[in-house]
Amino acid sequence: TFKVYSKILIKISFLINDYKNRIMEFEMEREMFLKDIDEIKIQKSNLKKQLANAVHKEKKCLRAIDKVKHELDKVRYESVRVRHELDKKNGKVRWIYVGKNWNDDLVVKKIEGQKQIIERFFTDE
């Protein structure tokens, strides 16, 4: 009976060692999964930051576009006003938009006898 008990004990010890090895393998796999999860969380955080930055840049660009549209509307309005002045003056004295001065006022300059330049300016829109 001692031999039988010793064989059983040997088998049990092999089984215990096998289970210990399996447990160690599972724990190693678990740690690898946890590392992968941590890396994924870091990547997710970085992507969120990139998205937030992109949204911020998009908003800045949209504000800049709105400013440019507003300025363009001002120029168009001034162009219509200058055309009206041209019509009022009946072609004797002409005005043309030449830009903006230092305090953002539209600048028009008086031109006499340069009908082609003015017509080209107004037809290039």
Write the pLDDT tens digit of every residue in 2-45. Answer: 888 899 999 999 999 999 999 999 999 999 999 999 999 999 99
Per-residue confidence (pLDDT) for residue 55, from 0 to 100: 96
Mean pLDDT of 97-102: 48
Per-residue confidence (pLDDT) for residue 36, from 0 to 100: 97
Neighbour count for residue 61 (Cβ, 10 Å): 10
Could you tell me if 78 and 87 are in contact, meaning their C-beta atoms sit under 8 angstroms apart? no
Per-residue confidence (pLDDT) for residue 69, from 0 to 100: 84
Per the structure block, which two tokens stand in for 24? Answer: 């160690």
| Secondary element (H or E) of residue 87 | helix 2-89
Closest CA to 97 of 66, 63, 74, 64: 74
> Using one digit for the tens of pLDDT, what is the confidence trace for 50-99?
999 999 999 999 999 988 888 887 877 777 666 666 666 555 444 444 55
Mean pLDDT of 96-124: 46
- pLDDT of 105 > 70? The answer is no
- pLDDT of 109 > 70? The answer is no
Cα separation, 24 vs 28, in Å, equals: 6
Closest CA to 99 of 116, 86, 82, 119: 82
